[in-house]
Chain A
């Protein structure tokens, strides 16, 4: 039997007095495409941020490919991970943000080549060749010399995806990557995600409000509410016959708000 690529074991996280996650456990299998849905404040984005080491956990354990993310072995026990361990673990993970977070003072291609050159010692020529392939895949190779401020939101997000891919992560985290886009630009980004799904064997975790996309794209959907997984299942089951009342209420609200399901 294959081992899960991500194993989350009883993690908790509070921001001040607000407990976002309370003893959450879940597993993700290699190559799995997972959609995380739920109302805002339910903790779904926090999970991605924790996996990317942007937030620390208060309790619990996370293993990536069997190796602890926030802990490292010492004298037979586990101690808190240091920066070096985190750096090693981050190589397995990439993230795309809701607001793109491109580097505004660098051209598109420099945004994509910077991290491979600095963190993996890739030579400029090789990094640029690879960047052009990636930009080509996301349909942005013609804008390689442009500055981020010259691009539309959808274009920026496609560059951000290429930038994350340049480090060849095994796990990609997508945090509401279409939420900040004008409706007519959503599709160009979703098309890129489809392509990634078809052409790579990355594990993908997707926090999204695009229910129609989540249904077609995901192998499994997790519905979060108040820091807990209320319901999970194959998209068809969960969207057609939600068993929990909270899931039903949430989906009704989403449909009323005009989202396709």
Chain B
């Protein structure tokens, strides 16, 4: 009979790395999403071009290749990243490209009458964007951002391929050491699911909080 507790703590160490990757990757993705999403809507053609190029490139190539590129090819250009840095970079840029389209779509869903009220009140474009349009668009973005965050969580497993010891990497170690597949993979299956649920429920809570007052019901 194998004593599983040591192997479990090995997997849990990997879970910490997975959480780190998810949190930092999401943070980078969020920043990129707003930069590129607003860039797509810019008055300046150069910014629109740049944003479009970023989005199409990172949506159009595989995250696996992007990760390998960040970790194995960038050093030739003099940029050496740790596995964690490379993972965060690839995940953040990749998911950020998808989320940028969410930002753009949500901003475009806000009615033109809100922009007209801004002009009539003499707000600048930026004031209007920041105080009027984005706060309303954020509510439209949140559910899809939740999806994006879950996609990112699941994509973290590719970093095991550059030998970063995330949950999937550790599960493989346990499998090769014990010859047992059921225990490590059932464990990480449950852990991925629990993490995804945490994201889902946090997003829902955030959504409820932000929608407060908009429907005429006092909370």
**A103 with B117, Cβ < 8 A, contacts A90-B122, A149-B215 known:** yes
Q: How far is the CB of A127 from chain B (nearest CB, A)?
A: 13
Known: A147-B214, A150-B216. A104 touches B136 (CB 8 A): yes
Interface pairs A-B: 8 shortest CB-CB: A149-B216, A147-B213, A115-B121, A101-B117, A95-B120, A90-B122, A101-B113, A119-B122
Interface size class, chain B: 20 to 34
Whether the Cβ atoms of A52 and B123 lie closer than 8 Å is no
B114 touches A149 (CB 8 A): no
**Chain B proximity mask over A77-117: 1 for CB below 8 Å, otherwise 0:** 00000000001001100110101011111010000001100
Interface centre among B116, B121, B218 (most CB of A within 10 A): B121
- The verdict on A119 contacting B121 (CB below 8 Å), with A147-B213, A149-B214, A150-B218 known, is yes
A54 to B119, CA, bound (A): 7
Q: What are 8 A-B contacts with C-beta separation under 8 Å? A: A54-B116, A90-B122, A91-B122, A119-B121, A119-B122, A149-B213, A149-B215, A150-B218
Give complex CA distance A147, B212 in Å: 9
CB-CB under 8 A from B114, the residues of chain A are: 101, 103
A145 to nearest B CB, angstroms? 10
Name the contact of A53 in the complex, choosing from B119, B121, B215, B218 (C-beta under 8 A): B119
Which label, helix, strand, loop or mixed, suits the secondary structure of the B interface? helix
Known contacts A97-B113, A118-B131: A104-B214 contact under CB 8 Å? yes
| Interface presence of A7 (CB below 8 A) | no
The complex places the Cα of A102 from the Cα of B117 at a distance, in Å, of 8
Q: How far is the CB of A64 from chain B (nearest CB, A)?
A: 14
Residues of B within 8 A of A164 (CB): 120-121
How far is A95 from B120 in the complex, measured between Cα atoms in Å?
A: 6
For residues 95 through 145 of chain B, which have their beta carbon under 8 Å from a beta carbon of chain A?
113-114, 116-117, 119-124, 127, 131-132, 135-136
With an 8 A cutoff between CB atoms, is A29 at the interface?
A: no
- The distance from the CB of A189 to the nearest CB of chain B, in whole angstroms, is 17
Closest to B139 in A: A105
Q: Mark B137-169, 1 if CB is under 8 A from A, else 0.
A: 000000000000000000000000000000000
Instruction: List the A side residues contacting B124 at CB < 8 Å.
Output: 87
Complex: A76 Cα to B114 Cα, angstroms: 38
In the complex, chain A residues whose CB is within 8 Å of the CB of B131: 114, 118
Q: A101-B116, A105-B214, A149-B213 are in contact. Are A87 and B122 (CB under 8 A)?
A: yes
CA distance A64 to B161 in the complex (A): 68
A101 to chain B, nearest CB (A): 4
Q: How many angstroms from the CA of A102 to the CA of B127 in the assembled complex? A: 16
B116 lies within 8 A of A167 (CB):
no
Output the nearest chain A residue to B210 by Cβ-Cβ distance: A105
Most buried by A among B120, B214, B215: B120
- CB contacts (< 8 Å) of A102 on chain B: these are 117
Complex interface: chain A residues within 8 A of B214 (CB): 104-105, 147, 149
Would you give the 0/1 interface string for B71-90, flagging 1 where the beta carbon is closer than 8 Å to chain A?
00000000000000000000
8 additional contacts, CB 8 Å, given A107-B213, A118-B131, A147-B214?
A: A87-B122, A91-B122, A97-B113, A104-B214, A105-B135, A119-B127, A147-B213, A164-B121
